[in-house]
Structure 1
């Protein structure tokens, strides 16, 4: 089963961040609308707002640097300048959108904005990239960058191939990462007084992979940290006992040659595919990092725990659409997934300057969306929104910001207002 063929509509929306989620969003949309309808009009206005549209900038001299999208077009990014007290503070965000792990997959992908800048448009900045203080209280006036994802390999590969028609495919995610950050350094990032590297989904995985490299670009006295949202993918077995995620990652590792970004200690002892999973490579990350994931990640439930091929009778279809529809046996399977996640995160729990926000809501990415990042109906742990938890961690060095929600169906009333994004 290929995971890299998801299409995204060419809208100016941060919803391009996520995967094509197999679960139906309609039931949660109704819940969301009811929750919004019950709010005071002033709260609705504050939660909504109009995100700013930020134009696309194409990387200069991309072809000379070999830093190109799958189809050979120059990669792009969106830059919104900071102001006031945030003039010298920076967020660099890596866009997500699954992977392509076969030649056929990548050939299809290069005909979309996930593989070619020819299809990229201006986008809206919201959530962690919003410039509105009410929606983004700590980072609103920082310089904010969104690096578009067009390599299909979490900004990690460095190779070439041929598509079905014999024309070249460029797997240059690592070069894109390096060249875009180099260009940003010349646009003021080099003089940053504080910086945060972030990303969600496949971009969250990339933020972890490049975390220490990002840190190394600044003087030691500059606070530099990383944030991974819904990027902690597990090497878990599905219903049939197969490891679909390992199969997908193996294709990416081999096709795109991602070995350069993997910890040398790990690949000296283990298969490179194993080293591409966060549970392994976070052991080597020295930069303070914040991990936001759901214990019942809707994407991983639908594509790793119970992918279609492992459920021929579609007995999981209703459960994958809404966790409240799951049988007791299905809930037990989901508890097993959550247990694997929490155990894999023990490394992060032991690191004093790291942060965790592991909720038990049925969702995927949360940081790119204004409603889930910081609004009157955002999910909360420890009585804090994700935005507040990340801010406390960034300012306070991680102390006390390690929140892990209880097992479903424990009652976290803020879960009910979350649309599956």
Structure 2
């Protein structure tokens, strides 16, 4: 199996000819693209952002396309043109009659909502944004192109930003979760162009509806503390954790460009929410993210806070994103070099914390890229922060440690993996977080802790799950700040004291009874660390070969940038 997985995984992605050169203190440098000289008759004008969503990349899907003209000509050969016009008019009249009857006489076919903007699926952001309700899904809304173009807030392909929204209800109507999803990065210009042809670089062909698991769930049994909150998931389409910040179009060929505007995309969506929904009246806001979205939380937490209503309590939750500045299994500073390339390619200097970058650059010219690593950047974050992370995060094991074999198939590498896990744990503890911040560090081979792992991953020998650790930390912080009322006195006492045995608490809200299990032995500082005796010390973790292969297949299918020989 090891040989099979090794042969399947041993490849290397090389396409560095069109990258930025590493920043060395002398400013931004970009290798010049060589273009063929065009004659005056064939010279092309530079492509500007498309005027509508139907003409991205120069394609025209309008009614005058060749195929439609061909169909009409063919029909006209079979029938007289007047006959054809009459038939089409009758069909259109029939359809319009049925539509009017269904819409205005029979009523909508789906449950309506009293929330503004709750009547449409693919909104344009001008009516309050998306559908309401608590049906466990969120609905897509696109930022109008005219608004996006004012600030140049484009996805990689030039399409406007988008987001998914589910409106809250009852006590959650003034509470919001803003979530940045995972989606990896693109590592050079060609790689970013390839991504721009997919939903990870465009909003032109994305799902109308997405599920909302974990922290975003509307199920009170899964998510008892936040199930009825407003939920917004930003569509990830810049390839740089919503932190690319180039004012220029990056040419890929004579007629293709990409836009690196993740920072503007993030701001444009927040502005739409402030202007078109009740978000401006929010009293509680959680800014969360997973994976590449989670590291975006490290980068953008304070900046997002500056855009929000000053009356709202604001907290950040970074999941599976504490990527460390560590050497790989060959003692090579591989991830550091990749982060330097990303930093320059995506013009990230202005998107990172200015206190951090200025400090690093003063100490060592050209070292602003260090603020991409949470271990250096965390102490500069002013926002109350909670970190959820695994010592053996699959992406980190795969791409930082460069270990790509099932541990039992390469036992000689297991000590390296255990040392890596201990290094991650120690760096989180030493990251300079204020005493009031918290974290949950598991020893399971898992990512997406606030998604699928929200009510599944727990610490060895306890019932403490990710949701319990974060919820108790969050409720304590908001209690101290006077920003949130508790659901019950029992829940409040559990948050503000250490309990030694599990206790079931029933919270009643709007006639809905929710049973909440308070985990045992909650530490007073709300910093949860799993066992450390061995790599597989938590008996509740899944270290099966099937899981490892499933994760390996998923990671291999993603954008990759380096794989060493063997394993």
Give the structure-2-normalised TM-score: 0.60
Structure 1 stretch 94-103 or stretch 237-246: which is displaced more?
237-246
Aligned pair 1:143/2:222, yes or no?
A: no
Q: Distance in 1 between matches of 2:135 and 2:340?
A: 38
Aligned pair 1:266/2:356, yes or no?
A: yes
Which one of 387, 393, 406 corresponds to residue 318 of structure 1? 406
1:42-80 CA-partner distances (Å, limit 9, x unpaired) = xxxxxxxx9733221111221222111000001110010
Instruction: Give the corresponding residue for 1:180.
Output: 269
Which one of 112, 137, 146 corresponds to residue 53 of structure 1? 137
Segments ≥4 residues shifted beyond 6 Å: none
Q: Structure 2 vs 1, CA of residues 380 and 154 (structure 1 numbering), >3 Å: closer, same or farther?
A: same
8 A Cα contact 1:157 1:172, kept in partner: yes
Which one of 215, 225, 236 corresponds to residue 128 of structure 1? 215
8 A Cα contact 2:418 2:535, kept in partner: no
8 A Cα contact 2:300 2:352, kept in partner: no
> SS where residue 382 of structure 2 aligns?
coil
Q: Displacement of 1:205 after TM fit?
A: 0.3
Which one of 172, 177, 191 corresponds to residue 105 of structure 1? 191
Which one of 157, 167, 170 corresponds to residue 81 of structure 1? 167
RCO (CA 8 Å, sep 6+): is it higher in 1 or 2? 1
Aligned pair 1:406/2:531, yes or no?
A: yes
Structure 1 stretch 61-70 or stretch 401-410: which is displaced more?
401-410
Which one of 357, 373, 380 corresponds to residue 454 of structure 2? 373
Q: Structure 2 vs 1, CA of residues 219 and 76 (structure 1 numbering), >3 Å: closer, same or farther?
A: closer
Q: Displacement of 1:218 after TM fit?
A: 4.0
Q: Distance in 2 between matches of 1:225 and 1:282?
A: 14
8 A Cα contact 1:283 1:347, kept in partner: no
8 A Cα contact 2:375 2:431, kept in partner: no
Q: Displacement of 1:238 after TM fit?
A: 1.1
8 A Cα contact 1:156 1:172, kept in partner: yes
8 A Cα contact 1:99 1:152, kept in partner: yes
8 A Cα contact 1:232 1:278, kept in partner: yes
1:98-147 CA-partner distances (Å, limit 9, x unpaired) = 11120111011011110011221121111111111011111100000000
Which one of 77, 85, 92 corresponds to residue 178 of structure 2? 92
Where do residues 244-393 of structure 1 align in structure 2 (5 Å cutoff)?
Answer: 244-268=334-358, 269-270=360-361, 271-306=367-402, 316-319=404-407, 324-327=408-411, 329-348=412-431, 350-369=433-452, 372-374=453-455, 377-380=456-459, 382-393=462-473
Q: Displacement of 1:286 after TM fit?
A: 1.2
> SS where residue 293 of structure 1 aligns?
strand
Q: Count residues with an aligned counterpart.
A: 359
Instruction: Give the corresponding residue for 1:154.
Output: 241
> SS where residue 151 of structure 1 aligns?
coil
> SS where residue 161 of structure 1 aligns?
strand
Aligned pair 1:226/2:313, yes or no?
A: no
8 A Cα contact 1:106 1:163, kept in partner: no
